[in-house]
Amino acid sequence: MTAKHTTSLLLEIGCEEIPARFLEAAQRDLGDCIAKALAQARLMGESSVAQTYSTPRRLVVHVPSILLKQPARTEEVTGPPVKAAFDSLGNPTRAAESFAAKYGKQVADLRRVTRPKGEYLSLEVSEEGRDTLQVLVEVLPSAIGQLTFPKSMYWTSKSGVRFVRPIRWILALMGEGASAQVIPFEFAGLKSGNETRGHRILGPGGVPVDGFARYAQTLRERGVEFDPQWRRKLLRLFIDASLRTEGTGKTADLARKVFYPAGSLADYIARAEGLQKEMETLPKPVDLTIVTDAELETWHVNSTETPRALVGHFNERFLRLPREVLVTVMRDHQKYFAVEDGEGHLRPCFVAVLNTRTEDESLIKRGHERVLAARFTDAEFFWQADQRVSLRDRAPMLARVIYQEKLGTYADKVNRTLLLCREIFQQLPASLGITSAKKHAALEAIQLCKCDLTTQMVQEFTELQGIVGGLYAQAQGQSAEVAEAIYDHYKPGNMEDSCPRSVVGCLVALSDKLDTVVAGFWAGLDPTGSSDQFGLRRAGNGVVKIAAERLPGLHLDGLAHRHLSTGVGAEPNSPIERRVKDFLQERVEYYLREVVKLRYDTTRAVVNSSLGWSDPSDAVLRGKALESLIDSADYRALSLAAKRTRNILMKSAADEEAGMNHLAPELMKEAEEQSLYDAFTSIQKRLVELEARSDYEAAFRELGGMRQPIDGFFDQVLVMAEQPEVRANRLALLSAINTQVFSRLADLSEVAADDGGAEKAGASENRRGG
- Grouped pLDDT means (10 residues each) for the chain, 770 residues: 78 96 96 95 88 97 93 88 90 92 89 90 87 94 93 88 94 94 95 95 92 93 92 89 70 59 60 72 74 96 93 96 96 95 93 85 91 96 95 96 95 96 92 91 97 96 95 95 97 94 96 96 90 93 96 94 88 88 96 95 94 96 92 85 86 52 81 90 92 92 89 87 85 89 91 51 36
List the Cα angle 171/175/180 in 5-degree steps: 70
Residues 245 and 366 placed together within one structural domain of the fold: yes
Residues 179 and 41 placed together within one structural domain of the fold: yes
**Domain presence at residue 472:** yes
pLDDT in tens, 29-80: 999 999 999 999 999 987 889 999 999 999 999 999 999 998 888 888 999 9
Residues 343 and 400 placed together within one structural domain of the fold: no
**Domain presence at residue 603:** no
**Domain presence at residue 613:** no
Cα–Cα distances in angstroms (integers) from residue 532 to residues 150, 524, 540, 684, in the given order: 15, 11, 12, 44
**Domain presence at residue 483:** yes
Residues 186 and 206 placed together within one structural domain of the fold: yes
Boundary (domain end) residue, out of 387, 409, 427 = 387
Residues 280 and 338 placed together within one structural domain of the fold: yes
pTM equals 0.81
CA pair distance 474, 459, nearest whole angstrom: 20
Closest CA to 640 of 697, 707, 696, 699: 707
Q: Which pLDDT does position 763 carry in this prediction?
A: 36
Boundary (domain end) residue, out of 387, 409, 444 = 387
Residues 12 and 49 placed together within one structural domain of the fold: yes
Host domain of residue 247: 228-387
Boundary (domain end) residue, out of 127, 155, 171 = 127
Residues 123 and 143 placed together within one structural domain of the fold: no
**Domain presence at residue 602:** no
**Domain presence at residue 298:** yes
Residues 417 and 544 placed together within one structural domain of the fold: yes
CA pair distance 100, 90, nearest whole angstrom: 16
Q: Which pLDDT does position 757 carry in this prediction?
A: 36
**Domain presence at residue 403:** yes
Residues 362 and 434 placed together within one structural domain of the fold: no
Q: Which pLDDT does position 72 carry in this prediction?
A: 87
CB-based contact 624:694 (threshold 8 Å): no
Residues 380 and 424 placed together within one structural domain of the fold: no
Residues 61 and 111 placed together within one structural domain of the fold: no
CB-based contact 164:22 (threshold 8 Å): yes
**Domain presence at residue 584:** yes
- Dihedral sign for Cα atoms in the order 304, 310, 315, 319: positive
List the Cα angle 648/649/651 in 5-degree steps: 65
Count Cβ atoms within 10 A of the Cβ of residue 114 and give its class: 0-12 exposed, 13-18 middle, 19 or more buried. Answer: exposed
Q: How many domains does the chain have?
A: 5
Q: What is the CATH number of the domain that holds 649?
A: 1.10.730
Closest CA to 502 of 479, 483, 485, 480: 485
Residues 406 and 537 placed together within one structural domain of the fold: yes
